[in-house]
Amino acid sequence: MKRLAFFISGTGGNALNLLRACREGQVPGVPVVGIASTPKAGGIARLETEGLPVVVVSRLDHPTDEAFSEACYQAAERAGADCICLCGWLKKLAVPLRWAGRILNIHPGLLPRFGGPGMYGMHVHRAVLAAGEACSGATVHLVDGEYDHGQVLGHLSVPVLPGDTPEDLQRRVYAAEMALYPSALAAYLAEQD
């Protein structure tokens, strides 16, 4: 089975979801390490409580995106990771050839719309509502070095309801993320064997 690294910048909710999906046999992967972009990430303690070691690689300690990215990849490689899952990761990653096609991301919108620099979290939900969209959702895609750009591996739509606030929409999209990411990762890993 493929060995997985979970990259987090915040609470680690998607990482915990994937960790449990692996342990319950829904995803044919073995989580080996968490990588956090800041020592302030709330997900560090949550993943460590579940027995997953976490390495902090702070962006502030590296002069360029490339140097930071390389430090992250080296931490994942030291743990023996074959595949990286971005789980609320908020830092720019430069993708070297050796990691091309092996990094997945979850985005809280239906790409290619509502993606790109600055489009994360509540910014996406506010933009969807401001545009008057009838639906939103989540997207899992491969990471290719451009923000929210790589090959789409799966979408899951949710309706935008009359009177929705960004917080209302966020709750439904987050539930979609929890369903979509394990299934998309499982399908991706099955194709790698």
Dist CA 154 CA 186 (whole Å): 11
Dist CA 177 CA 160 (whole Å): 16
Question: What would the DSSP string read from start to end of the chain?
Answer: -EEEEEEESSS-HHHHHHHHHHHTTSS-EEEEEEEESSTT-THHHHHHHTT--EEE--GGG-SSHHHHHHHHHHHHHHTT-SEEEEES--S-----GGGTT-EEEEESS-TTTT-STT--THHHHHHHHHTT-SEEEEEEEE--SSTT-S-EEEEEEEEPPTT--HHHHHHHHHHHHHHHHHHHHHHHHHHH-
Just list the catalytic residues.
107
